[in-house]
């Protein structure tokens, strides 16, 4: 099923004006992963929640209350070209273009590609419940009221992040200045302010490496009455306050150092503030908490006190318009793995021991922390989601017949020789390897997905041989594939091949290679199944 | 965290001068200059080479290669550009004929910028005839090209003392030829920290204290040579290149005893006494600057990771075997020294990291430059074994009276147990007796006659009484460690 149509239909589940308790969750939402309550603020033209975060694919229940005297709606938009940076303006502009039709359509540009979820117009003193599945793709999803004139003030951001947490309304103020102790930021003019929709304390919005400070404020939802412990790990100083009271004092100029503090809190939302400053050298801020039912949950991209086992915090992010290469021990691709992250949001790992595509995945590329902190022990898995693994062992083999069992997987094959790769202008590799007298050029390329959709990977494989071998086969994947039109579908993967005739043989999706004049070429497109 | 002051060594020396003007310090002769690295990058320098046009390429443990210009001069403000990213822990780089050769964990590769945009776009795998299994210990250190164009690679064991079936040739030395062959060349390696040539093109590496290594040492990679740790000998099953598998040495013995039974066992030319000289020797760089770095032409400079130092090593050949003396040279580097590389102007670039293994220098990584000021330090220049003692030469004339006083010297001899367990205490300690010291005519040498030299043992010579001619100035470093595997015939 197409993602956007699914989300549109789920938006229809919202029924305006009904009592909350009377509304039963639709099928598939028996179990709710996250519940959010957003209310309009009377006579202020604002939502009370300006940011919240949810995990990818989470079942979300969103209660939208409108105690105000005016009608309002809440439309969650996809990130768009500016990755959420336009706060959904594109959708508001579409409302203006509706002109006279605007009133009839309740000020909603129905069918706009950036609309993810809509509450419909909610009349004064009414409320609606929305059930929806959070998008697969991490990012900032703005939400807005599209009633004319409201947008400027009535907007917020839903962060979709695997590290989603119970912090809402997280904002930052960024300061310049050199200090040896935590200064009184309240008397200073910030250089910059912003929203952190992911709910994660994050010092990356800085514009310099030394002599700066941050004040973060937000609200944290305590699930139960009880004792809560907060920890900060920072270089240099940090402090954490709950309801305005200092709980963690990690002040002063120092290397990465962890301090914690405990406080007894009632169930419900508490204000949380973190102050941080950096003098010179390295800089780091991690925040976490523990409490009833919560064990060492990170409230920042890196988790504090992880010690040597910590394997997140150094995400490798492909630069704009480029691919990044990461050669190391990658879980699922072996010790001689070559990870490639494409800026388009798709990733792969190539196994240079067996000259095969080992894995593809979506979202974040890979975190370098395991290999770049401490001695670098162990295999690092992909950082992103929707990981698809391909069979171990070689991907090319000569077979007696098309349904002969595929040769057993070896740790490292001796049949092949890895020759390296060339990078194009966008740093995207074409892998080169040899099998006997056959030279193979293997070019994976990213294909961007539509808004809210996964991208794909297209792979062009060219072979050259003086004496073309007979009965050479290429194994694309393993598992239950069914042919539907031109594509072969399994539960996770949808494969199309151009320039060759794949078939399902002995549990594999295989391609016979037929050489013409000593060369062969075909193209495989890997798409994630819905 | 506050960065340590840029010129901590220089500052320290200035302070000591102001307090007691008398004694010179290392930085009077060899100041260390810290070279700024690109902002925001973590460059744990693990390889350095000089490119045409006086550019310098540096490789990092994270697998990046940066190229810098304008690294010379008093207060360098280099321009850095990214050449390549995401390689597999590069521990050795070498520029040759438009290509940058790299030793990565699983392979020797060469890379090139073919379209002239400043970034490498061709990455060719040259030789990969060994295995890795995912253990972080399976490091691969590579040389520059030898005279035949080969790159020599030393492969650390799996873990601190294993040899995994999935990763062939751990603990071996391999040569990767210009046409991409990987030739098994030596064996018996434990945990190398670096590799390099002497001025004759012979190959040496440093092996760290551990299993079958009583102390860290500098070893000579003679083709077919056995370096002492038999863990990787199982891979003789995979190659005929070095003949049949030799017998294992006896556990708990001495190198001196076992070398008579295991003929290929190469005694370490230089034992670097653990804790005294350092804890973790790394890269080896020969001074072939023709005097631009001072009076130590053709001597070796050994990076020391834990102590953030560079040692100096003099080698001679006695009865066909390399051996010689190690001297302290320079301390106070910013991080844990891994590599050093001389530039044509006589600058020695040094790079280091302390990730995973701590160092005295507190910066997580550093890239620095050492230059000779032109002032000659008062040092032992060379130390040669004689049938009944040693002959020392000095960089400057010494006071002959101080040279001839027996009380100017003390000597101890000792060794380490050659055993399968980790490290060894100092054992077999003796006090050889200094009978006579005879100054050369000009005071630039001394011949020390000794009774009780012990073949196979380290001879630690202290020379606190030696003075510069016409001065009260002692040697800048008054200790030497000579490894006496062979005693020359009279």
Least CB–CB distance from B133: residue in A209, A335, A352: A335
Q: Do B360 and B470 sit in the same domain of this protein?
A: no
Angle value at C-alpha B233, between B232 and B236, nearest 5 degrees: 120
Residues in chain A: 530
For B115, the closest chain A residue by CA position comes to: A425
Q: Give long-range contacts, CB 8 A cutoff, 24+ apart: B82-85.
A: B82/B38, B82/B118, B82/B119, B83/B57, B83/B111, B83/B113, B83/B118, B83/B119, B83/B120, B84/B111, B84/B119, B84/B120, B84/B123, B85/A324, B85/A325
Looking at the domain assignment, is residue B219 inside a domain?
A: yes
Burial pattern B4-39, b for ≥16 Cβ within 10 A else e, equals eebbbbbeebeeeeeeeeeebbbbebbbbbbbebee
Same domain membership, residue B293 and residue B349? yes
**pLDDT computed for residue B22 by the predictor:** 67
Contact B355 A373 (CB under 8 A): yes
Q: Is residue B12 part of a domain?
A: no
What b/e sequence results for B440-466 when a residue is b if at least 16 CB atoms lie within 10 Å of its CB, and e otherwise?
Answer: beebbbbbbebeebbebbbbbbebebb
- Does any CB of chain B come closer than 8 Å to the CB of residue A326? yes
Assess whether B355 and B425 both reside in one domain: no
Residue B375 within any structural domain of the chain: no
* Any A CB within 8 A of B107 CB: yes
Query: What is the set of domains in chain A, with CATH numbers?
Result: 3-160 (2.60.40.420), 167-305 (2.60.120.260), 316-528 (2.70.98)
Closest approach of B217 to chain A, Cα-based (Å): 22
Q: What is the CATH number of the domain that holds B40?
A: 2.120.10.30
* Chain B CB contacts of A422 below 8 Å: 121-123
Nearest to B86 among A326, A376, A424 (CB): A326
Residue B388 shares a structural domain with residue B365: no
Q: What tens digit of pLDDT does each residue of A66-85 get?
A: 999 999 999 999 998 888 88
Q: Give A420-426 contacts, CB < 8 A, sequence gap 24+.
A: A420/B109, A420/B122, A420/B123, A420/B124, A420/B125, A421/A338, A421/B123, A422/B121, A422/B122, A422/B123, A423/A323, A423/A325, A423/B119, A423/B120, A423/B121, A423/B122, A423/B123, A424/B121, A425/B115, A425/B117, A426/A321, A426/A322, A426/A323
Residue B256's H or E segment, with its range, is: helix B255-258
Q: Does A6 touch chain B (CB under 8 A)?
A: no
DSSP per residue, A58-100: -EEEEEEEE-SSS-B--EEE--TTTTTTTTTHHHHHHHHHHTT
- Do B332 and B404 lie in one domain? The reply is no
> Are residues B196 and B81 both part of a single domain?
yes
Of B39, B134, B166, the CB nearest to A209: B39
**Residues B427, B345: one domain?**
no
pLDDT along chain B (490 residues), means of 10: 44 44 88 96 97 97 98 95 98 98 98 97 98 94 98 93 92 98 98 98 97 97 97 96 94 97 96 96 98 98 98 98 98 98 97 93 96 98 98 98 98 97 96 98 96 98 97 97 96
**Whether B2 contacts chain A with CB within 8 A:** yes
A336 inside 8 A of chain B by CB:
yes
Q: How far is CA B354 from the centre of its chain?
A: 17
In a domain, B8, yes or no: no
In CATH, what number is assigned to the domain containing residue B413? 2.60.40.1220
According to the model, what pLDDT value does residue A137 have?
86
Query: A212 in contact with B at a CB cutoff of 8 Å?
Result: no
Nearest Cα of chain A lies from the Cα of B120 at a distance, in angstroms, of 8
Q: Among the three residues B310, B337, B370, which one is the final residue of a domain in this structure?
A: B370
- A325 interfaces chain B, CB cutoff of 8 Å: yes
What chain A residue is nearest to B43 in terms of C-alpha separation? A372
Cβ–Cβ gap A372/B62 under 8 Å: yes
Q: How far apart are the first and last CA of chain A?
A: 6
Say yes or no: B444 and B313 in one domain.
no
- Which residues of B343-488 form beta strands (DSSP E)? 348-353, 365-370, 380-386, 389-394, 410-416, 426-430, 433-439, 445-451, 458-462, 479-483
Cross-chain residue pair B121–A422, CB shorter than 8 Å: yes
Q: Are residues B321 and B421 in the same domain?
A: no
Q: Is there a domain that residue B11 lies in?
A: no
User: Is residue B192 situated within a structural domain?
Assistant: yes
B21 falls within a domain? no
pLDDT at B446: 98
Nearest by CB to A279, which of B2, B63, B132?
Answer: B2
- For residue A409, give how far its alpha carbon lies from the nearest alpha carbon of chain B (Å): 13
Which positions in chain B touch A427 (Cβ < 8 Å)? Answer: 119
Cβ of A334 within 8 Å of Cβ of B134? The answer is yes
Cβ-Cβ contacts under 8 Å, B122 against chain A: 420, 422-423
Best mutation target, B83, B86, B102, B109, to test chain A (most A CBs within 10 A) = B86
User: Are B349 and B473 within one domain?
Assistant: no
CB A412 to CB B166 under 8 A? yes
- SS3 string, B347-386, reads CEEEEEECCCCCCCCCCCEEEEEECCCCCCCCCEEEEEEE
Same domain, B182 and B133: yes
pLDDT tens for each residue of chain A, 530 residues long? 333 333 333 333 443 333 333 467 888 888 888 889 999 998 888 998 988 999 888 999 999 999 999 999 999 999 988 888 889 999 999 998 888 888 888 899 988 999 999 999 999 999 999 999 999 888 899 999 999 889 988 999 999 988 788 898 999 999 999 999 999 999 999 999 998 888 889 998 888 878 999 999 999 999 889 999 999 988 889 999 999 999 999 999 887 778 888 999 999 999 999 999 998 777 889 899 988 888 778 898 776 654 333 356 788 999 999 999 999 999 999 999 999 999 999 999 999 999 999 999 998 999 998 899 888 888 999 988 899 999 999 999 999 999 999 999 999 988 899 999 999 999 999 999 999 899 999 999 999 988 778 899 999 999 999 999 999 999 999 988 999 999 999 999 999 999 999 999 999 999 999 999 999 999 999 999 86
User: Which of residues B370, B391, B424 is at a domain's end?
Assistant: B370
> Does A208 touch chain B if contact means CB atoms closer than 8 Å?
no
Under an 8 A CB cutoff, do A327 and B109 touch?
no
Q: In which residue are the tokens 């706060």 written? A: A87
Residue A325, H or E segment: strand A323-330
Query: Looking at the structure, do residues B352 and B411 belong to the same domain, yes or no?
Result: no
In angstroms and rounded to an integer, the radius of gyration of the C-alpha atoms of chain B is 22
Distance from CA of B53 to the nearest CA of A (A): 25
Which residues of B are less than 8 Å from A421 in CB distance? Answer: 123
Q: Return the pLDDT at B3.
A: 43
Domain span holding position B429: 381-483
The answer to the question of residue B254 being in a domain is: yes
The per-residue pLDDT for range A472-482, each reduced to its tens digit, is: 999 999 988 99
d(CA B241, CA B245): 11
Q: CA–CA separation, A236 vs A240, rounded Å? A: 14
| Cβ-defined contact of A418 to B107 (cutoff 8 Å) | yes
Domain C-terminal end among B348, B370, B392? B370
**What is the domain count for chain B?**
2
Which among A374, A411, A420 has the least Cβ separation from residue B123?
A420
Q: Which of A412, A503, A498, A492 is nearest to A462 (CA)?
A: A498
Q: Does A253 sit within 8 Å of B120, measured CB to CB?
A: no
User: Do B87 and A327 meet the contact criterion of CB atoms below 8 Å apart?
Assistant: yes
Nearest residue of A to residue B358 by CA position?
A374
- Angle in degrees, CA A264, A258, A368, rounded to 5: 120
Chain B residue nearest residue A425, CA to CA: B121
Q: Does B364 touch chain A if contact means CB atoms closer than 8 Å?
A: yes
Inter-chain residue contact B85 with A327, CB threshold 8 Å:
no
């Amino acid at each position: 099923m197409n993602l956007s149509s699914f989300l549109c239909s789920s938006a229809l589940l919202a029924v305006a004006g009904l009592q909350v308790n009377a509304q039963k969750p639709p099928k598939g939402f028996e179990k709710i992963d996250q519940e959010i309550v957003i209310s309009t603020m009377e006579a202020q033209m604002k939502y009370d929640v300006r940011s919240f975060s949810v995990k990818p694919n989470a079942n979300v229940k969103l209660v939208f209350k409108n105690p105000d005297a005016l009608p309002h709606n809440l439309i969650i938009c996809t990130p768009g070209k500016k990755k959420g940076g336009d706060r959904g303006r594109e959708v508001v502009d579409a409302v203006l273009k509706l002109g006279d039709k605007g009133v009839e359509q309740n000020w909603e540009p129905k069918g706009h590609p950036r609309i993810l979820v809509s509450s419909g117009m909610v009349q004064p003193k009414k409320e609606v419940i929305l059930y929806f599945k959070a998008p697969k793709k991490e990012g900032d999803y703005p939400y807005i009221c599209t009633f004319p004139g409201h947008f400027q003030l009535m907007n917020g951001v839903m962060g979709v992040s695997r590290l989603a947490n119970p912090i809402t309304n997280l904002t930052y103020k960024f300061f310049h200045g050199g200090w040896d102790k935590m200064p009184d930021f309240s008397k200073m003019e910030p250089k910059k302010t912003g929203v952190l929709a992911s709910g994660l304390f994050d010092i990356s919005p800085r514009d310099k490496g030394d002599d700066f400070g941050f004040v973060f404020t937000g609200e944290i939802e305590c699930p139960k009455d009880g004792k809560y412990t907060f920890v900060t790990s920072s270089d240099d100083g940090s402090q954490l306050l709950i309801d305005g009271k200092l709980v963690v004092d990690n002040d002063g100029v120092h290397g990465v150092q962890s301090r914690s503090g405990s406080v007894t809190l009632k169930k419900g939302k508490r204000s949380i503030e973190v102050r941080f400053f950096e003098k010179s050298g390295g800089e780091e801020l991690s925040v976490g908490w523990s409490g009833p039912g919560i064990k060492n949950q990170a409230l920042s991209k890196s988790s504090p006190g992880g010690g040597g086992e910590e394997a997140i915090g150094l995400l490798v992010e492909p630069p704009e318009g480029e691919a990044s290469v990461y050669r190391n021990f990658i879980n699922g691709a072996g010790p001689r793995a070559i990870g490639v992250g494409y800026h388009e949001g798709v990733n792969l790992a190539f196994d240079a021991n067996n000259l095969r595509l080992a894995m593809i995945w979506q979202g974040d590329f890979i975190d370098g922390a395991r290999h770049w902190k401490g001695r670098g022990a162990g295999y690092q898995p992909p950082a992103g989601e929707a990981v698809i693994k391909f069979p171990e062992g070689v991907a090319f083999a000569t077979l007696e017949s098309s349904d002969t069992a595929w040769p057993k997987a070896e740790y490292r094959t001796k049949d092949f020789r890895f020759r390296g790769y060339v990078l194009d202008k966008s740093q995207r590799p074409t892998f080169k390897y040899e099998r006997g007298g056959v030279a193979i050029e293997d070019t994976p390329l990213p294909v961007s997905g539509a808004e809210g959709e996964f991208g794909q990977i297209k792979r062009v494989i060219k072979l050259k041989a003086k004496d073309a071998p007979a009965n050479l086969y290429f194994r694309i994947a393993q598992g239950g594939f069914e042919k539907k039109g031109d594509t072969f579908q399994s539960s996770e993967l949808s494969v199309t091949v151009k320039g060759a005739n794949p078939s399902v043989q002995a549990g594999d999706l295989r391609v016979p290679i037929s050489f013409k004049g000593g060369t062969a070429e075909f193209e495989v497109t890997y798409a994630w199944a819905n | 965290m506050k960065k340590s002051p840029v010129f901590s060594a220089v500052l320290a020396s200035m302070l000591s001068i102001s307090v007691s003007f008398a004694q010179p310090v290392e930085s009077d002769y060899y100041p260390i200059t810290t070279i700024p690295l690109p902002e925001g990058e973590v460059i744990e320098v693990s390889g350095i080479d000089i490119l045409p046009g006086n550019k310098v390429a540096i490789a990092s443990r994270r697998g990046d290669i940066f190229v810098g210009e304008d690294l010379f001069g008093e207060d360098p403000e280099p321009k850095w550009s990214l050449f390549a990213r995401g390689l597999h822990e590069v521990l050795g780089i070498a520029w040759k004929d438009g290509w940058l050769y790299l030793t990565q964990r699983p392979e020797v590769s060469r890379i090139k910028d073919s379209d002239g945009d400043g970034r490498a776009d061709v990455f060719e795998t040259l030789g990969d005839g060994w295995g890795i299994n995912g253990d972080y210990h399976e490091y691969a250190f590579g040389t520059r090209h030898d005279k035949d164009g080969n790159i020599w690679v030393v492969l650390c064991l799996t873990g601190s003392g294993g040899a995994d079936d999935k990763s062939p040739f751990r603990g071996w030395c391999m040569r990767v030829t210009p046409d991409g062959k990987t030739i098994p060349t030596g064996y018996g390696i434990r945990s190398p920290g670096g590799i390099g040539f002497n001025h004759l093109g012979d190959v040496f590496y440093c092996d760290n204290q551990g299993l079958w290594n009583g102390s860290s040492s500098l070893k000579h990679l003679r083709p077919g040579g056995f370096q002492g740790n038999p863990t990787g000998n199982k891979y003789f099953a995979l190659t005929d290149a070095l003949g049949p598998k030799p017998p294992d040495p006896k556990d708990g013995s001495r190198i001196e005893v076992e070398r008579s039974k295991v003929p290929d066992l190469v005694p370490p030319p230089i034992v670097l006494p653990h804790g005294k000289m350092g804890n973790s020797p790394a890269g080896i760089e020969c001074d072939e600057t023709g005097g631009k770095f001072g009076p130590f032409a053709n001597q070796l400079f050994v990076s020391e990771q834990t102590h953030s130092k560079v040692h100096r090593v003099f080698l001679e050949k006695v009865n066909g075997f390399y051996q010689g003396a190690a001297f302290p040279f320079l301390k106070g580097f910013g991080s844990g020294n891994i590599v050093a590389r001389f530039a044509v102007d006589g600058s020695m670039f040094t790079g280091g990291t302390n990730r995973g293994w701590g160092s005295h220098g507190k910066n997580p990584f550093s890239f620095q430059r050492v230059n000779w000021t032109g002032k000659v330090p008062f040092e032992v220049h060379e130390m040669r074994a004689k049938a009944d003692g040693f002959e020392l030469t000095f960089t400057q004339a010494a006071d002959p009276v101080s040279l001839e006083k027996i009380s100017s010297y003390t000597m101890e001899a000792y060794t380490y147990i050659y055993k399968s367990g980790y490290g060894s205490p100092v054992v077999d300690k003796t006090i050889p007796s200094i009978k006579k010291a005879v100054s050369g005519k000009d005071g630039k040498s001394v011949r020390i006659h000794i009774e009780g030299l012990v073949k196979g043992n380290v001879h630690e010579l202290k020379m606190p009484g030696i003075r510069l001619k016409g001065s009260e100035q002692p040697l800048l470093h008054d200790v030497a460690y000579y490894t006496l595997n062979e005693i020359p015939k009279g």
